[in-house]
Chains A and B, each alone.
Chain A
Amino acid sequence: QLQLQESGPGLVKPSETLSLTCTVSGGSISSSSYYWDWIRQPPGKGLEWIASIYYTGSTYYNPSLKSRVTISGDTSKNQFSLKLSSVTAADTAVYYCATRSVSYWGYWGQGTLVTVSS
């Protein structure tokens, strides 16, 4: 049973870079079975897909965030990470990491709230 756990600062200052890590257990990010995704949800609002990484290292980004986002993987730690630069209050959200089997997300982390504020 795959388990995912997000970690990172809960508070980030405007204009700085948000950095989050997802630790995976019960499976390997080197597996060809899954894509590894980040999804966010602003308070009281809907879900937004941010980015994906595949075991080959291929990355995919939401066009609206692409200029500010980097997703990467660390197979030695079985983790994948998200960096979002130049954050504003609009980036305040619960950030989820999740596994995707081609087109659907079967496993999700519990989510972590990141607040952008000075």
Chain B
Amino acid sequence: QSALTQPASVSGSPGQSITISCTGTSSDVGGYNYVSWCQQHPGKAPKLMIYEVSNRPSGVSNRFSGSKSGNTASLTISGLQPEDEADYYCSSYTSSNTYVFGTGTRVNVL
């Protein structure tokens, strides 16, 4: 199974909004509403930010939102803050009853 495709990096200034894309196929992202997003700071374990395309776990800021169109899912961070600087990974359930992660995106807060 191939990793989902994400941009290597996305940058934005504090207060701006950015969007990270996650492109798969009809056998994963496009076929199921089982896309999640996690945030990872250097040296730390990943943290769940969005599940099932657009749901936010308790305690996650409402500045984080998710959506999906066709084979591409997206994570939007609005009102960008310095602490949002981290790596972000999407993941999806697949038709093979397995899970695949995205290639990862480094968010830089300028």
Residue positions of A touching B, CB distance < 8 A:
46-49, 52, 60-64, 96, 100-106, 108-111
Contacts and interface: CB of A to CB of B under 8 A. Distances in A.
Interface of B: 1, 3, 32, 34, 36, 38, 45-48, 51-52, 57, 89, 91, 93, 96-104
Contact of B101 (A46, A61, A101): A46
Contact of A103 (B38, B47, B93): B93
Given A46-B3, A46-B102, A47-B104, 10 more contacts: A47-B101, A52-B99, A62-B98, A63-B96, A102-B34, A103-B36, A103-B93, A104-B36, A104-B48, A106-B48
A61 B32 CA distance: 19
B46 A105 contact: yes
A111 B91 CA distance: 19
A60 B97 contact: yes
